Chains A and B, each alone.
Chain A
């Protein structure tokens, strides 16, 4: 479904690559989390999957990028819209401003794709429910809280039914309540298996709960790739500028004190921690 082969990318005027020799395959329906410190290349990877590298940012891209059967560098942004959905950090900047209500804002992408009216109405109604926005449908998108706006941004992309959805730190500019709302929607999304999802995220505790797989990026390279339980509990995490989840940290401290020193599978979620300490 997603296939990257030896991808190296330089932003214009840059001398070091933002992505270096990235080779990656993500099968259809997988929920893949990408973690890494600031500047590790998470956003660049997201933009590459959605085609904004190289079509928007220009710069120098080598290697092959294939997403949902489309050769991304050979395609165009207009053609990729609807194939790959992208959600990013700032909720306010994702509101088009061209529509006056939440309902119409969600429909904007479908209008541009020329989806017939009755199908459009049904799909918008459906997504309003999924994202928990039904009560806000007639409100101005600008009159929403950050968390509500971000759910609106996700809904606006989901309604286009792209086979691949890319989210670049969707909660990094939200307060804890807003983050929780957004993660609830993402968990539901992970449960449906309707789309392949790539989520760049710093909040590892959430990643651990619903990702099928975790990639670690460091200085533009993939340095770890595996199941959340293995990657997130690995001792290497700190050397890539990442903090293990508090469950792993507590368990590691307990092991250092002699508790269950024989266990290698350290917990990364609350449930696993409960099991570990039982």
Chain B
């Protein structure tokens, strides 16, 4: 069992050595491109020409692509089926029995799929190449609340334990003869005895965990230090500013495209 709920893969790559904020800026840039680029095909270029090369540079390309496809595939298939085949009105370009593929629907599906793939793969790129604690430290050093950093990191370590616990409870209930297969009502009724022990059992531990944190000066105000040291370079600082400008430019361009026709009219 993995001890942390994260797909981070440690590697000695240039991408891995970047300051977490630089990686965050890169990913945010891709995200903004994915969400705001106009047209149907441009987002695919972002995926192929920026995100995939970065993943390759980081040395995580095969697992990265696997994870991206696993997440994107159901949505992509569904968007082509639902919007391609059930587009109201529209120009049919291919007849499939009682249904027909509509040109407008196909176009919408291609655009949506490109956007979704870019958004999902941007997040995955950050996950695969960035130590969660490094990212949180970088954010804390820029004034991000320490308490939220704690919540994020603690969650990542607690989730696998809870999943294991949930499965143990499920197995225990099954071996006691609880029906977990069958009709909907049977399966629904199986849920309550699963939820109760998970929730009540964990709540008792919370007091002790709070005490343990207080003992370790978690509630103390004032400057904090860190055992983990993040390396930053002037070049990366410049790059981050450029990426920020790039994001603003793309959003501005998109706004202009949306407003310009109305201004002209």
Interface set of A (CB-CB < 8 Å, partner B)? 50, 52, 56, 77-79, 81-82, 85-86, 88, 90, 92-100, 103-104, 107-117, 120-121, 124, 140, 142-143, 153, 156-157, 160
CB of A101, distance to nearest CB on chain B (Å): 9
Determine whether the beta carbon of A77 is less than 8 Å from that of B219: yes
Stretch in contact with the other chain, from B60-68, B112-120, B173-181, B210-218: B210-218
CB of B97, distance to nearest CB on chain A (Å): 54
Interface set of B (CB-CB < 8 Å, partner A)? 3-4, 131-133, 149-150, 153-154, 157-158, 161, 205, 208-229
CA distance A94 to B209 in the complex (A): 6
Listed from nearest, the 10 A-B pairs whose CB atoms lie closest are A97-B154, A81-B217, A112-B217, A93-B208, A109-B216, A107-B227, A140-B3, A78-B219, A94-B212, A77-B214
25 A-B pairs in the complex with CB atoms less than 8 angstroms apart:
A50-B215, A78-B214, A81-B217, A81-B219, A82-B220, A88-B211, A90-B208, A92-B205, A93-B205, A94-B208, A95-B212, A96-B150, A97-B158, A100-B131, A100-B132, A104-B228, A109-B215, A109-B216, A109-B217, A110-B227, A111-B225, A117-B226, A121-B227, A124-B227, A142-B3
A-B contact count (CB 8 A): 113
- Chain B residue numbers with a CB within 8 Å of A79 are 220
> Of B154, B157, B217, which one neighbours A160 at CB under 8 angstroms?
B217
CA distance A50 to B216 in the complex (A): 12
- Chain B residue numbers with a CB within 8 Å of A78 are 214, 217, 219-221
> Of B150, B157, B161, B214, which one neighbours A52 at CB under 8 angstroms?
B214
Given contacts A86-B215, A94-B212, A98-B133, 6 further A-B contacts (CB under 8 A): A56-B211, A85-B215, A96-B218, A100-B157, A104-B133, A111-B227
> Of A52, A104, A115, which one neighbours B225 at CB under 8 angstroms?
A115
> Of B158, B214, B225, B229, which one neighbours A81 at CB under 8 angstroms?
B214
- Chain B residue numbers with a CB within 8 Å of A156 are 216
CB of A56, distance to nearest CB on chain B (Å): 6
CB closest residue in chain A, given B136 = A98
- Chain A residue numbers with a CB within 8 Å of B157 are 97, 100, 140, 142
CB closest residue in chain B, given A52 = B211
> Of B4, B216, B221, B228, which one neighbours A96 at CB under 8 angstroms?
B216
Determine whether the beta carbon of A140 is less than 8 Å from that of B153: no
- Chain A residue numbers with a CB within 8 Å of B208 are 88, 90, 93-94
CA distance A95 to B216 in the complex (A): 10
CA distance A252 to B252 in the complex (A): 90
| A97-B153 contact, Cβ under 8 Å, with A112-B218, A140-B3 | yes
CB closest residue in chain B, given A156 = B216
CB closest residue in chain A, given B227 = A107
Determine whether the beta carbon of B216 is less than 8 Å from that of A81: yes
CB closest residue in chain A, given B226 = A111
> Of A107, A109, A114, which one neighbours B222 at CB under 8 angstroms?
A114
- Chain A residue numbers with a CB within 8 Å of B158 are 97
CA distance A143 to B160 in the complex (A): 12
CA distance A157 to B211 in the complex (A): 13
CB closest residue in chain A, given B228 = A104
CA distance A107 to B218 in the complex (A): 12
CA distance A116 to B131 in the complex (A): 23
- Chain B residue numbers with a CB within 8 Å of A109 are 215-217
| A82-B217 contact, Cβ under 8 Å, with A90-B205, A116-B225, A120-B227 | yes
CA distance A81 to B157 in the complex (A): 24
Determine whether the beta carbon of A114 is less than 8 Å from that of B214: no
CB closest residue in chain B, given A107 = B227
- Chain A residue numbers with a CB within 8 Å of B214 are 52, 56, 77-78, 81
CA distance A117 to B227 in the complex (A): 6
CB closest residue in chain B, given A99 = B133
- Chain B residue numbers with a CB within 8 Å of A103 are 227
CB of A6, distance to nearest CB on chain B (Å): 26
> Could you say which of B149, B209, B224, B225 has the most chain A C-beta atoms within 10 Å of its C-beta?
B225
Determine whether the beta carbon of A113 is less than 8 Å from that of B3: no
